[in-house]
Amino acid sequence: MWTAECWPGTRCTGLPRRADGLGGWISLNRPVYPGDPEVTVRPWLSIPRGDPVNVSLLGLGSHTGTHVDAPRHLVDGAPGVDTLALDALAGPALVVERDRVRCLEATDLHRLDLPALRAHPRLLFKARGVGRHPDRSVTLSSEAARLLVQAGVRLIGVEGASVDDASAPDLPAHRLLLGAGIIILENLDLSTVPPGWYELLCLPLKIEGGDAAPVRALLRDVAEGWSQPRPSVARSSGG
C-alpha cells in the first residue's frame, strides 16, 4: 500500500506547520557506504594549545551522510554538483510511504498518481518501519527508474545509502536517473515525517566539479498556504 494523505489546499489534521530536518549526522560513529572513506575530524588550530581560535580539519567522502549525487558520479566529465539546478533542489515534494520494503518495480509506481508529479516533480520514498535501519529502505529497479524519467520527475529521495538495490552492482537506477538529469538524494531520515506534500529545501555544498556533496535537507509543512489543486488519487494499494 502507498500512502500520501495530505494534499495542497486541504487542512490536514495532525500535521502542524513545522520544519523537519531530514539529514543524517556527519559523525565519527556513523557507518559509511562500503569502500567510502571514514569520517575524520581533528583539530588544526586549538585554543587549549594556545591558538587564538578553534579550527578543525575534516576528512570525509563526498557521499557522506545525507547527500545528492550529480551525473559526474557515474560519468567522468559529466556535470558536477556545482552545476545542479537550484530550482530542482527546492520546492514542493511528495513523501510516499510503502508498507512493504523491497525493490520497487514499475508496476508498483503505476499505483501512484504520476501525472500529478509533473507540476511538482520531487518524490521522496519512505519505507514503513525502517527508522534507523536504512539498509531496509526503498530501492528502485531499472524499470521503475525509467518510468520516473518518463513521468518528468526531477528529484528522487530515499532513506538508504543507494537508490539501487544491493543485488544490482552495476547501478542501473543511478545510470538511468542521472543520465536523464534527475537528482538523487540519499541517506534521508524520514522516520518522523508523515506521508504527504511538503516544501523541500535541499542545498548541497558547492564543490567545484564534485560527483556528490553533503546537504542539509528540510521539509516544511506549507499545505495550508498552497493553491495547488488536489490530485485525483491520494491513496493507492496493492501487492
Known catalytic residues? Answer: 73
SS (H, E, C) the chain: CEECCCCCCCCCCCCCCCEEECECCCCCCCCCCCCCCCCEEEEEECHHHCCCCCEEEEECCCCCCCEEECHHHCCCCCCCHHHCCHHHHEEEEEEEEECCCCEECHHHHCCCCHHHHHCCCEEEEEECCCCCCHHHCCEECHHHHHHHHHCCCCEEECCCCCCCCCCCCCCHHHHHHHHCCCEEEECECCCCCCCEEEEEEEEECCCCCCCEEEEEEEEECCHHHCCCCCCCCCEECCC
Buried b (16+ CB within 10 A) or exposed e, 29-39: eeebeeeeeeb
